[in-house]
Amino acid sequence: DGGITQSPKYLFRKEGQNVTLSCEQNLNHDAMYWYRQDPGQGLRLIYYSQIVNDFQKGDIAEGYSVSREKKESFPLTVTSAQKNPTAFYLCASSGYRGGYYEQYFGPGTRLTVT
């Protein structure tokens, strides 16, 4: 089955700790993305990568870091510098399907920092 996996589903951390969220896809998509979703708000783009070994900041990159060493993997680190890290984090990848360029999401990681 092709898809996007994220782990863990729920994550709890103490303030001041860095935490890394995993995202893997086997859709053979070049582009991958990280978003965060807060209650009542639309998804906001944190980082994206169009190709291996390259990535770009999104709208809210401060306090986050990423790497793209393999096409299949795009992990996100939430650092202690991120002021409000508690959120629902969604990883996505994009590719062509039936002639259209579409984006698909993983199941998400719900991070709680106390």
Partner 1 sequence: RKEVEQDPGPFNVPEGATVAFNCTYSNSASQSFFWYRQDCRKEPKLLMSVYSSGNEDGRFTAQLNRASQYISLLIRDSKLSDSATYLCVVNSWGKLQFGAGTQVVVTP
Which residues are at the interface with partner 1 (CB under 8 A)?
A: 35, 40-45, 88, 90, 100-108, 110
Least spacing, CB of residue 15 vs partner 1, in Å = 23
Least spacing, CB of residue 52 vs partner 1, in Å = 18
By C-beta, is 85 or 108 nearer to partner 1?
108
Least spacing, CB of residue 100 vs partner 1, in Å = 5
Residue 41's contacts (CB-CB under 8 Å, 6 or more residues apart) are none
E strands, the chain, in order: 4-7, 10-13, 19-25, 31-37, 44-51, 54-57, 64-66, 76-78, 87-97, 100-105, 109-113
